[in-house]
Structure 1
Amino acid sequence: MRKVSSTRGFAKVAPHVVPALDRAVHRLTRGKLLLSALMLPGVILTSTGARSGLPRRTPLACMPTPDGLGWTLVGSNFGRPGHPAWTTNLLAHPDADVNWKGTDIPITARLLTGEERAAVWQDLLAFWPPYATYQARVEREIRVFRLERRT
C-alpha cells in the first residue's frame, strides 16, 4: 500500500474516494472505525471554516504523539500542489475537535516550524515513508500540526 499511495495516480483519485469512504464507515460504525485506519491511525477533524465559519469534518491520517495525549497531522494533500483546506482552517481557528476511536476530544492545533518541525518530520518519515515522495513532488513546505487536548 505504501508503494501505491506514492503514485501520481493515487494522488489524483484518493482525495475524492478515501474521505468519502472514511465518512461513510465512520457514520455506519458510530465513530468506532475509519476505513483508512486499517493502514494508519486516523481521526475525524472538526474545524471551523476559515472563510465560512461553518464546521468542517475531515477524516485524516494521524500519528499519535509518543505520550499518547495528542496527535500529529500532515497537510500533504496526497502530494498535490496547494495546502489542503483543513490546514487553512486550523491556522485561522486553532481550537477544534477530533473524533478518536468514537470519542470527541477538544483540541488546540499548533503549526510546527523550524527545528521542531524538522525533528517531527523525521519521525513522520519513519512512520509513513510516502510523505517523502509527497514532499518531493511539491514546491511548498508541507504543513505539520501538533494537536493537543484542551481542558
Structure 2
Amino acid sequence: MNATKDLTITTIGRKTGRLRTTTHPFGADGDQLVLVGPGSAAGPHLPGWYQDLMAHPDAEVQLGGRRLHVRAHTAHGAERRRLWTKLVAAQPVYQRYAEAARGEIPVVVLEATA
C-alpha cells in the first residue's frame, strides 16, 4: 500500500450542508482508497472531514486528472486490522499517531460508486 500520494476529497458539511474540500495522503487497497483520520474515535477531536463523511458518506474524489464519486465507511474488525497493518508498513508515522491517540484511529475506506 502506497500512502505517499495525495487525493482531494469534497464532502458535504454536516452542519452547514456546504461543500468542503480537503487534501489527504491515501493508500490503495485494490480498487478502494484508504484514508487515516488523525485523532481517535475515543476523543473529541475527530477531524471535520471525517465527521462530515460519517454524516454524509457520499463524496467526490479528485485523483490526478480523474474525478470519482465514492461512498465512505469506517473500517472495523478484521478489515481495519488488515488495512492498518498495510498503512503502517507503508507509512510508519501512523504508528506514532496511534501511540499518541487516546483510542483507535479511524481508517476510512472509499469505494467508487459510479
Deviation at 1:115, TM superposition (A): 1.6
More helix by share: 1
Q: Which letter does structure 2 place at the counterpart of 1:75?
A: G
Is 1:51 aligned with 2:10? no
SS in 2 for 1:62: strand
Instruction: Verify: 1:100 aligned to 2:63, yes or no.
Output: yes
Instruction: Report which structure shows greater RCO (CA 8 Å, sep ≥6).
Output: 2
**Partners of 2:26 and 2:17 in 1: how far apart?**
24
Structure 1: runs of 5 or more not aligned: 1-38
**3-state SS, counterpart of residue 46 of structure 2:** coil
Aligned length: 109
Q: CA-to-partner distance for each residue in 1:125-144, whole Å, 9 max, x for gaps?
A: 10100000011011031111
Tell me the secondary structure at the aligned position of residue 142 of structure 1: coil
RMSD: 1.7
Question: Could you tell me the TM-score, scaled by structure 1's length?
Answer: 0.68
Name the counterpart of 1:91: 54
Query: Is residue 74–residue 145 contact of structure 1 (8 Å, CA) maintained in 2?
Result: yes
SS across alignment from 2:24: strand
Q: What secondary structure sits across from 1:82 in the alignment?
A: coil
Answer 1 or 2: which has greater strand percent: 2
Contact 1:82 1:140 in 2 (8 A): no
Taking the TM superposition and a 5 Å limit, the aligned residue runs for 1:2-151 are 40-65=4-29, 67=30, 69-76=31-38, 82-151=45-114
Separation (CA, whole Å) in 2 of partners of 1:50 and 1:102:
27
Q: Which consecutive segments of 4 or more residues in structure 1 shift more than 3 A?
A: none
Q: Share of identical aligned residues, percent?
A: 31
Unaligned runs of 5+ in 2: none
